[in-house]
Structure 1
Amino acid sequence: MIISKEILDELLKGVERPEDLLGDAGLMKELKIKLMERMLGAVLSCSGLTQPLDILLCEAVV
């Protein structure tokens, strides 16, 4: 996948200091969280675990 210059520019719009990119509240951490949430949502959707109780029961079994 290629990330376009426009998307990259939009993501970096608020980055003015290194901390804005790499700090505890920086863009990289936010991107990592959002990507993990998206992947987890896809996995849960594919496995049919859409209700909180289903997720808890699955975790109890694992």
Structure 2
Amino acid sequence: MIRLSRSNWEQFTPFLAYRPELRKLVYTTNAIESLNSRFRRATRCRSHFPNEQAALKELHLVTKNPLKNRSNITGKVVGWKQALNTLAMHYGDRLDVQH
């Protein structure tokens, strides 16, 4: 573990420059795990798709339909607005933020 951290220290240290809200969002995978779970559930219900296009359509529909009592597909992401602002400051040229 020590060898691994030393060999990757230069890749890790820029992460420490981010504000705490962004760091928490980056290392928290709950939203990603929730979405992956919904993808698995949607594809498990159907044992066969006629083609790849049909499977992709099903996954697209999952992302467009939030769960009951949730405003977005993965639930509430605490501090998202502040994290998005920080990302815009660092990577504004790469973000396509639509309001």
Same fold (TM over 0.5): no
**Which bin holds the TM-score, normalised by the shorter protein?**
0.3 to 0.5
Larger Rg, first or second structure (1 or 2): 2
More helix by share: 1
Where relative contact order (Cα < 8 A, 6+ residues apart) is larger, the structure is 2
TM-score, normalised relative to structure 2? 0.30
